[in-house]
Structure 1
């Protein structure tokens, strides 16, 4: 397999897929994916919610700018809705109630809708919370579940309809700039492109090194998710519940509870698996914050959330390698920011006009690390 393209995107997870969908309107695009199926790693292991507050104030503009697309996608884009109502409840443990004030101020500063609740209001939203954890709370009404697989497949299928090509089982083995073009060697063949996009997720720094470009210090961090059986079906109307101190979050799904201990353990790029200790910590933190008891752990998994040193995503051309474009460091917010991030990155590559209120592409440019 060979070919010449305007752009080759390395990585077909949600970041690469969304970018390919936008790019393929104006350019010939090849997506190369190391695995047999796109989205095997971070995208396929997402907690699947949209919360404008998640990721902090630097990420929030991209999340907010993605909201309209997710709620009202283009006609024919997907075979069903991309989001469903959920709501999020932000709580604090004993002695940490003051932290809710900081979160509320952050909500007000960013324009994210939130409502202060007293103990009665918090109990009405999440009655399984221990009384010590629901003295008061913040309600984020616009939080939704995201149909991650549907969104990801819609971007991939839409990109192919626009002429993009997807090559799987095609890990990049060589990247070389010659004659003003990139030559890309993969297990599936050799390709040429004007632009190479590094959308390799946890492998982003490895792809940069392969291209002779300075890595940015993108660090994969392991995050654990546990599916717990509480002995009776869980109310499907429960919100996502976040500890403002960052020690856990949980949400209902198919009669069970998904619980994460919000762990961030450095790990090498790999098909990461959950650790028994992290599973136990998740169960313990959930039981301490609620009146429920976990009867059994049905299953557990782990994923890698990759962050640049300042925990903001990286979108833009590398200052030290012509035609090498970074699309990396999406942390745990890559799915909910995919529409705006993909559109912004495509505009940076093609020069097409694009803007969204509050989104400054320079904030995410790799040049911000030039002095590091």
Structure 2
């Protein structure tokens, strides 16, 4: 059997494209790991804040709003920025970029009770940020793909890709697949997949982001607290199942691998967090890391490779894969099926692979 579409990568990018494309033709999705969303998609901060990211990301995220707000996948969270007393200019830049409302420190402590008024000089908040039920979203996409006849295969690490007249042959696991179009949604591994296919890599860089789940003092319930971002986005925290997730927000280049947190980086990030709160870190419950993969200009890459019309890039979502996935997958499906995209031409051009060649 020759599939119309073969997707490599079972994270949110690949799965959202699969759900769009399965009704359009025979489709298979290959995931190297034993579970879908194993790497970056399974280690996301899971926030829909459509103003967060570079212009291309913001455009895709805003265009995803209609889907998300009708999906039942969102719950209110809000976002708060804190900065030091001597960082007024930087703070005002954040206020403008994220459409925030400046708060007094008393008002800010009403939303985030562990704010330290002795070290925080500025605070601002926006309600327009929501938690995404990422597990439910991935499960929904998988169900929609299978219901439309798409095949999802896990433990299918791609070992060989061969160009055939009018298509591709892909050896993965113990099976060999043939497809008319190959869609590269392999996250941190996208350049390696391209090289296997004989397509020039575009220079993607995986960047490690570490996370720690910490306990809070007895009597504190963070359920209604906003996500809080500190200073020059050098740490952030977010409620999670009665505890807090704290990240040092690092961007350390890494080779594609099953990422793990760096103890020293975590310690430095937790120290930056502690400097702006009144509750010291007493216990780390767990820690982990993910790889956020960026193109050279940090915008996603969505479209056919200029010199290879059967090879489609769906890559470089960075840390914004979930919040942009509905619009990104709709754009991919339109381009793959020869339809006019709903997005403005300048947005389509801003994520086209040709800009990087």
TM-score (norm 2): 0.96
CA distance in 2, matches of 1:267, 1:297: 24
Following superposition of structure 1 onto structure 2, how do residues 1-372 of structure 1 map, counting pairs within 5 Å? 3-73=1-71, 81-107=72-98, 113-132=99-118, 134-232=120-218, 233-356=220-343, 360-370=347-357
- Deviation, 1:43, is 0.6
- Deviation, 1:359, is 6.9
Structure 2 unpaired stretches of 5+: none
Contact 1:214–1:320 (Cα < 8 Å) also in 2:
no
Relative to structure 2, which stretch is displaced further, 183-192 or 261-270?
A: 183-192
- Deviation, 1:133, is 5.0
Decide whether aligned partners of structure 1 residues 359 and 230 sit closer, same or farther in structure 2, where only a CA change above 3 A counts.
farther
CA distance in 1, matches of 2:121, 2:70: 36
Matched pairs, number: 356
CA distance in 1, matches of 2:19, 2:269: 37
Contact 1:62–1:359 (Cα < 8 Å) also in 2:
no
CA distance in 2, matches of 1:19, 1:229: 37
1:233-260 superposed Cα distances (whole Å, 9 cap, x missing partner):
4321110001241110001112211100
RMSD over aligned CA atoms reads 1.5
Contact 2:56–2:347 (Cα < 8 Å) also in 1:
no
CA distance in 2, matches of 1:30, 1:252: 36
Contact 1:122–1:136 (Cα < 8 Å) also in 2:
no
- Deviation, 1:103, is 2.0
CA distance in 2, matches of 1:57, 1:7: 29
Decide whether aligned partners of structure 1 residues 293 and 14 sit closer, same or farther in structure 2, where only a CA change above 3 A counts.
same
SS in 2 for 1:154: helix
Decide whether aligned partners of structure 1 residues 280 and 234 sit closer, same or farther in structure 2, where only a CA change above 3 A counts.
farther
SS in 2 for 1:339: helix
SS in 1 for 2:267: helix
Relative to structure 2, which stretch is displaced further, 243-252 or 121-130?
A: 121-130
CA distance in 1, matches of 2:345, 2:137: 24
CA distance in 1, matches of 2:111, 2:135: 28
CA distance in 1, matches of 2:163, 2:41: 30
Contact 1:41–1:271 (Cα < 8 Å) also in 2:
yes
CA distance in 2, matches of 1:154, 1:187: 25
- Deviation, 1:54, is 1.8
Relative to structure 2, which stretch is displaced further, 240-249 or 349-358?
A: 349-358
SS in 1 for 2:234: coil
Decide whether aligned partners of structure 1 residues 325 and 358 sit closer, same or farther in structure 2, where only a CA change above 3 A counts.
closer
Contact 2:54–2:298 (Cα < 8 Å) also in 1:
no
CA distance in 1, matches of 2:159, 2:222: 48
- Deviation, 1:295, is 1.3
SS in 2 for 1:362: helix
CA distance in 1, matches of 2:281, 2:152: 42
- Deviation, 1:67, is 1.4
Contact 2:184–2:311 (Cα < 8 Å) also in 1:
yes
TM-score (norm 1): 0.92
